[in-house]
Amino acid sequence: MGLISVWNDIFHLLGGTVQIGLKDGRMAKGWLRCYSDEAEDSSFFLEAASWIDQDGKELKVDGPGVLITKQSEVQFVIFLNDIKPGV
C-alpha cells in the first residue's frame, strides 16, 4: 500500500478517541468517526463528543457529535487510549 499522506495514514492507523486543539484555544474530544483525506481540508466528525473547558472539564455535546471544519484551524490532534462509544 502506497503512502497517501501522513495525515490520512496516521488517522487510518490510529483512529479512536482524539482530542483536537483549535486556533482560538477551544478543545474538543470524541470518537474519530470521519476525517478528511488530505491535511489541507483538516475536517473531522467526532462522535460522542465533548468540549473541554479551560479547567479540563468535559462538557458533553447533546447530540450525535461535532463537525469540525477547516475554518476552525486545527492546531494539534492528540490520540487517546479511550474505547469506542457503546462498547
Strands 65-68 and 44-52: antiparallel
Domain residues for 18?
Answer: 6-79
**Nearest Cα to 32, choosing from 56, 42, 57?**
42
Q: Residue 86 falls within a domain, yes or no? A: no
pLDDT for position 10: 85
Q: Residue 13 falls within a domain, yes or no? A: yes
Q: Residue 10 falls within a domain, yes or no? A: yes
Q: Residue 75 falls within a domain, yes or no? A: yes
Q: Residue 85 falls within a domain, yes or no? A: no
pTM over 0.85: no
- The pLDDT tens digits of the residues spanning 37-52 come to 888 888 999 999 999 9
Q: Residue 1 falls within a domain, yes or no? A: no
Supply the CATH number for residue 27's domain. Answer: 2.30.30.100
